[in-house]
Structure 1
C-alpha cells in the first residue's frame, strides 16, 4: 500500500480547486442570468435562453483551438491565459444594461471557460500517476459535481437575499479564485518543454481522432443528462415534490462522494468494461424510478441511482479518451471529448425542450431509460468491440 504513487499532491489539489472555482462561477451564472434577463433587462424567454447558448457555443468552439494550442505552447501557458481571460471578463457583468452587451460578455467568458477547462483536464491527466488514473480522474470530476450542487444554491440564494449586484460580485470573487489556485500549479520545466511541438496548424489537428468514439458515446448519453438539468425541478413541482427538488443534485453528489474511492480504484484494477456496463444499467434503472416517482423517497432514490450510474460513467469515459491518446495529445483528447460532450448537452437541451412540450415529463424520463440502453449498445460497438478487434489485429501482426 505504501508503494502506491502519490495522488493528492499540491499540483493535483491546486488544479482540482481551480476546476471547482471555474465550474462554480459557471453554475452560479447559469441559473441566475436567464432570470436576470427576463426580470431586469425585460427580454423575451428566447433571448434569455441565449445567455446560456452563446456561452456554451463559444466554449465548444474554443476547445479544439485550445487543444491544438496546448500541443504548441504547453499546458501551463494555455491554462494561465485562459484563467486570466475568464477572471478579466467577470467584472464586466456589472456594467451592461442591454441584452447585446451581456451576450458579448458571455461570448468572452465562454472562450475563457472552454480553454481553461480543456487545459485543466490535460494537466490533471499528466500529473495523475498512470496506475491511479481512473481514481484520480474520478476525484477531479468530483470537483465539477460539487460545483454543480453548490453553484445554483449560492447563485439563487444570493440573488434573492441581496440582489443581482452582490451575486455578480461573488461570481467575480470565485473567478479570481480559479486564477489564484491555477497559479499554484507548478509543472516541471522539462515537462513543459516536451509538450511544445511545431505541428502545422490544420483543421485535422483540432481533433484527436482516438478520442472521438468514446466522445460520441458521452455526447449521446449527455442528451439524457441535459433532460435532468433542464426539467427535473419542473417535474418535481408537477408531481408535488417541490419541497425536495433542491435535494436532487445534493443526493446525486453525496452518492458520488461516497462511491468515488471505490469506483475509481475498480476502474484502474478491472478496466472500463467492468465499470461501464453496470453503471449504464444503474443509470437506466434510475430514470425508470424517476419516471414512476410518487413520493420523496423514490424521487431521491432515483437521484442516488443516477448519481452512481451517470456520475461514474462520465469520468470513466474521459479517462478512456485520455488513455487512448499519445501523451503529447492528451490535451487535444480532452478538448475533443469535452467539445463533443458539450455539443450533446447543448443539442439535448434544445431537443428535450421540444419533446417536453409534446408529452408528460414522466413519459419522457421513462423513454430515456430505453435510450440509455441504446447508449450501452453504442458503447459496446464503439469501445468494447473496437478495442477487442484492435487487440486481435495487433496479435495477428506479432505472430506474422
Structure 2
C-alpha cells in the first residue's frame, strides 16, 4: 500500500515560509538588545525588555488567531500576519527612541503570532493523517534550523556590517516568502451550523482547545527548561571558560535533529507517540545534566547532541499530539494552544530562572531543570501516555458501530 505524498508543493512552500518567519524572529531577538544598547544607550533591563516584549505580543497574536482563524479564513490570517510582519520590520529603520522600539517589538510579536499560527494550522491541514508525526517533524525542522542559523548569522552580520544589514536581509526573505505563499492552495475548513454557533460565542474553549490542554501544559515546563539554555548558555560558558566551544552548541543541536528527524517522525506514526515522547524526555534530562557537569569542551557538545535528540524530538511530537487529539475543525485552536503554552514557558523562563541564578548558580540551575523534565515525564504518563490504549479502543468501537 502506497503512502500518501508528503512533499507536495504546498508543504514545501509553507515550510520555507515558516523558516524565514522564525529566522527573522531568532535573528532579531539575538541582536536587538545590542541595537538598543548601542543606538539608544539603553540599560541592560530595558534592552532585555526590548527582546522579551516580543513574546508578549506573540501570545496576544496567537490568542486572536487561534479563535478567529477558521471563521476569518486561514489564507486571510496568513496574508494579514505576513503583511504586518513585513511592514513592521521596515519600521526598525526609522525607530527614534527606546519607547518606540518597545512598541514596535510588541506589534511585531503580535504579527508573528498571527503568521506563525496560520502556517502551523495550514501545514496541519496539508499533512496526511497517516504521516502526521513524520510530516510535523519535517515541518518543525524549519524552526530548528532557524533557531540555529538565525542567531549565528545575525550576530556575525551585526559585528561585521551592522544592524541595518540584518533588517535588509530579513525584509528580502520575508518578501520572498510572502510572494511564494500566494501560490499555495490552502484547504478550507468545513463547519456545521452548530459548530459555527459555538465558535462565535465568547467562552474559554473558543480561545483554547481543551483536548490539546494536557500536552500543552506539559510543554510549558519543557519550554521553561529549554529557556535556561537559550538565555543563559553564553553566561554559563563564560563562567566555565568555554565560550569558543559554546558557539558550536546549537550547530551540534541542529545537526543531530537533522539526522534523527526521518526516524523519529516515522516511529511516531508507526509505533505511537509514547514510543517517541518517553525517550525524548529522558534524553533532554540527560542533556541538561551533562550541561551542568561540563568542564571540558566535548561535554558541552555532547550536551548539545542530547538536547537536540530530547527537546528537538519532543517539541515536534508534542505539536503532532496536540493536532492528533483535537477535532479537525479546531486545528487552528489546537495549534495556537500548544504554542501559547510553549511560548509562555520560553518567555517567562529567562525572568523567573534569572531570579534563582544568584542563589544557586548555573550548575544547580541545569541540574534542577533536569529534575523538572523528569517530573514532566511522570506528568505526561498521567495526563496523556496511560490513556492512549483506552483512546484507541474507543475509536475502534466507534468505527465498528
Displacement over 6 Å in runs of 4+: 392-399
CA distance, structure 1, for counterparts of residue 97 and residue 399 of structure 2:
65
Per-residue deviation at 1:394? Answer: 7.6
Larger mean Cα displacement after TM superposition, 66-75 or 333-342: 66-75
Match of 2:188 among 192, 196, 213: 192
CA distance, structure 2, for counterparts of residue 193 and residue 291 of structure 1:
47
CA distance, structure 1, for counterparts of residue 86 and residue 123 of structure 2:
21
What is the aligned partner in structure 2 of residue 86 from structure 1?
A: 85
CA distance, structure 1, for counterparts of residue 179 and residue 323 of structure 2:
26
CA distance, structure 1, for counterparts of residue 107 and residue 364 of structure 2:
38
What is the aligned partner in structure 2 of residue 114 from structure 1?
A: 113
Work out the number of aligned pairs and report it.
396
1:209-220 map, 5 Å: 209-220=210-221
What is the aligned partner in structure 1 of residue 174 from structure 2?
A: 175
**What's the Cα RMSD here?**
2.0
Determine whether 1:250 maps to 2:251: yes
CA distance, structure 2, for counterparts of residue 41 and residue 344 of structure 1:
29
What is the aligned partner in structure 1 of residue 222 from structure 2?
A: 221
CA distance, structure 2, for counterparts of residue 102 and residue 67 of structure 1:
27
CA distance, structure 2, for counterparts of residue 12 and residue 274 of structure 1:
26
Q: What TM-score comes out, normalization by structure 1 length?
A: 0.94
1:370-389 map, 5 Å: 370-388=371-389
Native 8 Å contact 2:121 2:335 kept in 1 = yes
Larger mean Cα displacement after TM superposition, 173-182 or 35-44: 173-182
What is the aligned partner in structure 2 of residue 37 from structure 1?
A: 36
CA distance, structure 2, for counterparts of residue 69 and residue 370 of structure 1:
38
CA distance, structure 1, for counterparts of residue 305 and residue 158 of structure 2:
29
CA distance, structure 1, for counterparts of residue 189 and residue 132 of structure 2:
23
Per-residue deviation at 1:395? Answer: 8.7
Per-residue deviation at 1:182? Answer: 2.3
1:105-144 map, 5 Å: 105-144=104-143
What is the aligned partner in structure 2 of residue 27 from structure 1?
A: 26
Native 8 Å contact 1:20 1:178 kept in 2 = no
CA distance, structure 1, for counterparts of residue 189 and residue 319 of structure 2:
25
What is the aligned partner in structure 2 of residue 50 from structure 1?
A: 49
Native 8 Å contact 1:71 1:195 kept in 2 = no
Q: What TM-score comes out, normalization by structure 2 length?
A: 0.94
What is the aligned partner in structure 1 of residue 8 from structure 2?
A: 9
What is the aligned partner in structure 2 of residue 295 from structure 1?
A: 296
In structure 1, the residue corresponding to 2:3 is in which secondary structure? coil
Native 8 Å contact 2:231 2:350 kept in 1 = yes
